Amino acid sequence: MKTVKITFQFLVVVLLFVGIHNANAQGKEYVPALKLNNGKEMPQLGIGTFAISYEAAKAACLEAFRNGFRHVDCATAYRVEGAVGEAMKESGIPREEFFITSKLWVSDYANGKTLASIDTILKRFQTDYIDLLYIHQPIGDYINAWKEMEKAVASGKVRSLGISNFDASNERFHAIVDNMEIKPVALQIECHPYAQRNDIREWVEPYNIFIECWYPLGHGDPGLLSDPVIKKIADAHGKSIVQIILRWHIQEGFSVIPGATNPVHIKENINIFDFELSDEEMTTMRSLNKDKRFFNVTLEQLDSWAR
């Protein structure tokens, strides 16, 4: 009887371990990975952490991890890097399963502070490397900042580099992609069905740079989120309008990082890999483009942020 009892207990422990492992690994099973131009891979879908509190960011990340997310988009300016790091630790998921990004604000790289700022980010994330580090805005001394970021790649503290909001200036975009030793793997910009950014897609194509979309749901625009054309497609698939929009992003080949704190919305956002939009539906989605952006700041206004 004692042998049987020990064997049963061992079986319970094994089953619990397998269950936990499967729960932790579920995100890797069905979120596609994009092959970056440096050979590394990035989960195509992530969760954004813009404009939420420290506590909300931690709770959202933990919920996202439970539902299969492994890619988290962050920035020093969001002030939640520490929350993301705490969530990673508490999740029990191995660090190598995560893809964690951040962005340097202009004050983070002013006066030669780039490498020190990267070390600070690492401490907040409680990790020894950042998967993808962006320059947040094309302002200030971004050229020397990039060169310092290249040193962080060489030392292993950063795996990949990217640029954010460089759609504001074609000249500044080319200053990085044509002249730096390490090419960006991604360009983060506002992109959604009402602003499909076809011109910027032409910019990045020769360099095999992925577009990663912020405001992928149009900053919650009521018109976009109740669009009757998208609603018809959603009804046909038994999905929500949000899920159709995110699925459109995926099939366009974008990386997409919707933010959410509501557990229902987090689960909804990742439940988009059990169906596909037809060619006709994709054509219909593309016809919705209005070049309508919700974040409208001129390059001159951006430059004023660096003064």
Which of 30, 54, 78, 215 is catalytic? The answer is 78
Segment holding 270, helix H or strand E: helix 263-270
Cα separation, 263 vs 47, in Å, equals: 12
The count of other CB atoms within 10 Å of the CB of residue 107 is 14
Backbone φ and ψ for 247, nearest 5 degrees, come out as -65, -35
Query: Which 3-state string (H, E, C) describes 112-124?
Result: HCHHHHHHHHHHH
78 an active-site residue? yes
In which order are the strands placed within the sheet that holds 130-135?
47-48, 71-73, 99-104, 130-135, 158-164, 186-190, 210-214, 255-256
For the four alpha carbons of 23, 70, 265 and 45, in that order, the dihedral sign comes to: negative
In this structure, which amino acid lies at residue 254? F
Backbone φ and ψ for 188, nearest 5 degrees, come out as -90, 125
Kindly list the catalytic residues.
Answer: 78
